[in-house]
Amino acid sequence: MDGGINKMELSIDRVSKQYRNKIAVDRVSLRLQTGVYGLLGANGAGKTTLMRMICGILKPTSGTIAFNHMDVSTEEYRAVLGYLPQDFGYYPEFKGTDFLLYMAALKGLTKQQARQKVLEMLELVSLENDGKRKIKTYSGGMKQRLGIAQALLNDPKLLVLDEPTAGLDPKERVRFRNLIGELGKSRIVLLSTHIVSDIEHIADTVLMMKDGQMIWQGKWEGGAEDLEDFYLRQFEEEGRGRI
Amino acid sequence: MKNLKTLYQFELKKIFGRKITWITVGIMLILTATTVCSQLLGTYYIDREKVDSNYAIFQRSRTYEKALSGRPVDQRLLEEMWDAYGKIPAASEHYAGTKEYWTYAFPYSAIFGFVTNACDMDAAEALNREPDETELYAGRQDMLEDLWNSAYLTEGEKEYWRQQELSVETPFVYAYKEGWWMLLDGLYTIGIMTLLTIAICLSGVFPVERARKTDQLIFSSRYGKRTLYLAKILAGISFAAGISLLYTAAAAILALAVYGCDGFGAALQLIYPDYSGSISVGQAVLISYGLLLAAAVLAGAFVMVLSEILKNAVGTLAVISGVIILSMFVNIPVHLRVLAQIWNYLPSVFLSLWNIFDCRLVPFAGTYLTNTQFVPVLYLGMVGLLLTAGFKIYQRY
């Protein structure tokens, strides 16, 4: 795989997802390169559907998704992908370490690599003393941290994070916000959140979705206007400024 | 395939990590023990009068049967039996309720039972017949011809069995074989318990990922779409095979420990005179439990693929339970030969002595295959088809 930072590109070309009588994602086209992309949108805007298609979980009704020309349906694509779903599950009978070792095996790491990486990740998310405990004893925040750890196990070039800071306490939230910022220096990070200030702090590029369409995308320069006000204004000005 | 072994181990861990697995297996093991020992439990009554405990009667019966072991069921033995049964007062309403029966006839009751079975007679008819070795074995041949006609066998099938019958050595040599017989007798119940265990424990292998919302993590991972399918299937099939072997081992250890290992080489016809062919009771047990293993593998594959189609563990369990219950009550009329034969191949129907060693054959390349030859191939072929279809469905998730 070409690991060159500058050559990394996620290409989303006229991707749509249609359910019986609802278009969840409507002809979205994007070209993402190294950096952090913040995806904003109200509930039902199509953020999670788009992310699930980018992760190969949902098949688009039309359009293509590729990372460095590797189609989303290939193992090679998934090998460079890390995904933290919004509402993900776990195996209550597994210990934290078991869960990460299992995910590492699914991601293609060898046993030796997995053991080393699991220790690193547990330390990264401050669960090094809880790895031997069963996940069913974890708090919501601990489970979320475990989710972040599994997403990073394979050192992904494309990291998709759906509400990564949900359930974290304010201190952890700031810590992970900074971590995401760091990760974005050498990979493509696409994150969705309701917390506009998170995006304001770490996203290089802001993407806004409404009713399945991408209504705004661009660098957030800040300036006089607050992102939250800008975001709310975009939703009020329906139809205007669509791309 | 990379990481297949690791993923397989984790999938097994998931199956064994569920409490329902341990509870089900525990209950089924108790039921297996009860099935094997049911003959020894309780009390024997005749006309509401207690005769003795079943265990005491079994002990006496075993002593008598062991005394008869090694003796050919010939004219001499038939005459001894006749004399013994002749001591029962003719006027008695129930011959088994007389003192004479328990004193003189009971030691020969195993031979008497064989005679009535082999000639398809009731007890009264047997008591009124003169002892005649030639008549006994000719009577068995007549019984077989009647059986073949009633099973709608073709002339070719009848000829096949007549040829097989030539290899059957008569007179049969009697042997005590209770341990092996208990295993054959309990096969149907153990088979149903195996199928239920598989349905309960494997119906969640695929749907649980959706229910727990771990499917998103799996399908976005490198090996989540191909290798993991194989790992799950292998783990499920190993579990199914392991369960059948566990129940087989539990039943065998208990049956052979309680009743003894004697009689492995006894002719199958001593307990199942309907079968034509040279096969021992012990061989019949090995074949039958081998087929249980094949049925378990098929059931495992079927349960997992069905659960992937329905995307629902409870729905899958309901379907499997429904099929098992239906198969207990539905009996396809024998004159609908092909339909009846196909119905009998259903694992919940097939796992019984009379179906495994059924006289109906499958024509193949100018010859015939018996159920013991055809069914393993059928089951394994179906496993292949199911797994291929399951893979396609899993890919379309």
Query: What would the two tokens of residue B89 be?
Result: 């007062």
With cut-offs at 50, 70 and 90, classify the pLDDT of residue A223.
low
pLDDT in tens, B21-33: 999 999 999 999 9
Top pLDDT among A4 and B336 is at B336
> Taking residues B369-374, what's their average pLDDT?
96
Percent of chain B with pLDDT over 70: 99
Beta-carbon count within 10 A of B202 CB? 30
Task: Please tell me the predicted confidence (pLDDT) of residue A1.
Answer: 42
Question: For residue A15, what are the contacts with CB-CB under 8 A and spacing of at least 6?
Answer: A25, A27, A28, A29, A50, A53, A60, A62, A63, A64, A65
pLDDT in tens, A17-73: 999 889 999 999 999 999 999 999 888 889 999 999 999 999 999 999 999 999 999
Residue B124's closest CA among B93, B83, B100, B80? B93
CA distances from A86 to A40, A62, A101, A179 (A): 14, 24, 21, 18
Quote the tokens at residue A22.
């609802």
- The segment with the largest mean pLDDT, out of A221-230, B50-59, B291-300, is B291-300
* Structural tokens at position B390: 């399951």
At residue A2, does pLDDT exceed 50? no
Q: Phi, psi at residue A161, to the nearest 5°? A: -120, 115
Q: Please report the pLDDT score of residue B313 as a whole number.
A: 94
pLDDT of residue B205: 95
Q: What is the pLDDT of residues B241-261, one digit of tens each?
A: 999 999 999 999 999 999 999
Give the model confidence (pLDDT) of B231-242 as tens digits.
Answer: 999 999 999 999
How many other C-beta atoms can be found within 10 angstroms of the C-beta atom of residue B53? 14
ipTM higher than the 0.90 cut: no
> Which residues from A are below 8 Å from B220, CB to CB?
55-57, 78, 81, 83, 160
CA-to-CA distance for B50 and A121, rounded, in angstroms?
73
pLDDT at A154 > cutoff 60? yes
Cα–Cα distance measured from residue B146 to residue B274, given in angstroms and rounded to the nearest whole number:
10
pLDDT digits (tens, 9 = 90+) for B124-166: 888 888 889 999 999 999 999 999 999 999 999 999 999 999 9
**If you measure CA to CA, which chain A residue comes closest to B229?**
A106
- What digits encode the pLDDT tens for the residues B204-239? 999 999 999 999 999 999 999 999 999 999 999 999
Q: Is the model's pLDDT at A242 over the cut of 50?
A: no
Q: What is the pLDDT of residues B28-77, one digit of tens each?
A: 999 999 999 988 988 988 877 788 899 999 999 999 999 999 999 999 99
* A105 to B6: CB separation less than 8 angstroms, yes or no: yes
The β-bridge partners of B26 are: none
At residue B24, the pLDDT reads 97
Supply the pTM of this predicted model. Answer: 0.90
Q: Residue B359 pLDDT more than 60?
A: yes
Of A79, A89, A103, the CB nearest to B213: A89
Q: Does B14 contact A111 at a Cβ distance shorter than 8 Å?
A: no
Quick one: average pLDDT of A215-240?
A: 72
Interatomic CA distance for residues B285 and B291, integer angstroms: 10
Where are the CATH 3.40.50.300 domain residues in chain A? 1-80+156-243
CA nearest A27: which of A60, A57, A51, A54?
A60
**Percentage of chain A modeled with pLDDT above 90:** 63
pLDDT at A166: 80
What pLDDT does A4 receive? 44
pLDDT of B145: 95
Greater pLDDT, A174 or B191:
B191
B217 to A55: CB separation less than 8 angstroms, yes or no? no
Give me the residues of A, 7-66, that contact B with CB < 8 A: 52, 55-57
- On whether the CB atoms of residues A92 and B19 are closer than 8 A, the answer is no
User: What confidence category does residue A241 fall into, taking pLDDT thresholds of 50, 70 and 90?
Assistant: very low
Q: Which two tokens stand for residue B373?
A: 């030859």
Beta strand B49-53 with A35-41 is unpaired
What's the pLDDT band for A238 if we cut at 50, 70, 90?
Answer: low
CA-nearest residue of chain A to B217?
A83
pLDDT averaged over chain A?
A: 88
Residue with tokens 């709608």: B152
Q: CB distance from A91 to chain B under 8 Å?
A: yes
Q: What is the arrangement of strands in the sheet containing A205-210, beginning at the earlier edge strand?
A: A81-84, A158-162, A188-192, A35-41, A205-210, A213-219
Q: What is the distance between the alpha carbons of residues A53 and A62, in angstroms, rounded to a whole number?
A: 11
Residue A11 backbone class (left: φ over 0; alpha: ψ -120 to 50; beta: rest): beta
Summary mean pLDDT of chain B? 93
Residues A96, A135: contact at Cβ < 8 Å? yes
**Given an 8 Å threshold on Cβ–Cβ distance, is A78 in contact with B3?**
no
Q: Which of A102, A136, A155 to mutate to test the interface with B (most CBs of B within 10 A)?
A: A102
Nearest residue in chain A measured CA to CA from B219 = A57
**Nearest CA of chain A to the CA of B383: how many Å?**
25
Helix (H, G, I), strand (E, B) or coil at A162: strand
Is pLDDT of B96 > 80? no
Q: Architecture of domain A1-80+156-243 in CATH? A: 3-Layer(aba) Sandwich (3.40)
Confidence check: pLDDT of B84 > 80: yes
pLDDT of residue A224: 61
Amino acid at B331: N
- Candidates A41, A5, A85; CA nearest to A231 is A41
Q: Which of B38, B61, B69 is nearest to B254 (CA)?
A: B38
Where b means 16+ CB within 10 Å and e means fewer, B111-122 reads: bbebbbbbbbbe
Each domain of chain B, given as residue ranges in start order, spans: 4-39+177-395, 70-165
Which of B216, B225, B232, B394 would you mutate first to test chain A, the one with the most A CBs within 10 A? B216
Mean pLDDT along residues B1-28:
95
Show Cβ contacts of residue A163 under 8 Å, excluding neighbours closer than 6 positions: A86, A192, A193, A194
